[in-house]
Amino acid sequence: MWGKGKKRQSEESPEDAGDADRGPPKKKTAGGSDEDDTVVCEISKNRKVSVRSWQGKIVVDIREFYSKDGKDFPGKKGISLTLDQWNTLKDHIGEIDEAIAENA
């Protein structure tokens, strides 16, 4: 039987990890980004796409941010895609665009 319980650290994946799982937020520079984060684009006022290292693996992070004392901090809402997941998403962009066109 499958029991409900906490995942062990080794079973967690980047997309399962929220801010509480990642520990305290990293210190931000004046520009508002971590030294090992590369903000690729801002997709809205409070949402950013970045590439970062998480537990030694590169992830594409799509996350909401909040401002505090003039600095941006990552919020709990978001997803981190492994490179395999990112490549799968990229491979299906055409199908996603078609579905959008059908539903528009």
Per-residue pLDDT of 3-44, as tens digits, reads 444 444 433 444 444 433 343 334 333 344 445 678 889 999
Q: Kindly report the pTM of this predicted structure.
A: 0.60
Residue 93's domain comprises 15-103
Is residue 3, in this structure, part of any structural domain at all?
no
- Give the per-residue pLDDT at 36: 66
CATH of the domain at 92: 2.30.31.10
- Give the per-residue pLDDT at 42: 94
What rounded mean pLDDT belongs to the chain?
76
Using alpha carbons, select from 37, 104, 103, 100 the residue that is nearest to residue 73. Answer: 37
Cα 18 to the center of its chain, rounded Å: 9
Query: Residue 83 — pLDDT band, cuts 50, 70, 90?
Result: very high
Is residue 2, in this structure, part of any structural domain at all?
no
| Cross-sheet strand order for the sheet of 57-68 | 38-44, 47-54, 57-68, 71-82
Straight-line distance from the first to the last Cα atom of the chain, in angstroms, rounded to the nearest whole number: 44
User: Which CA distances in Å does 86 have to 7, 66, 93?
Assistant: 24, 25, 11
> Contact at 8 Å (CB) between 51 and 38?
yes
Is residue 10, in this structure, part of any structural domain at all?
no
- Give the per-residue pLDDT at 49: 95
Is residue 46, in this structure, part of any structural domain at all?
yes
Identity of the highest mean pLDDT range in 14-18, 21-25, 57-61, 71-75: 57-61
Q: Is the pLDDT of residue 58 over 70?
A: yes
Q: How many domains does the structure of the chain reveal? A: 1
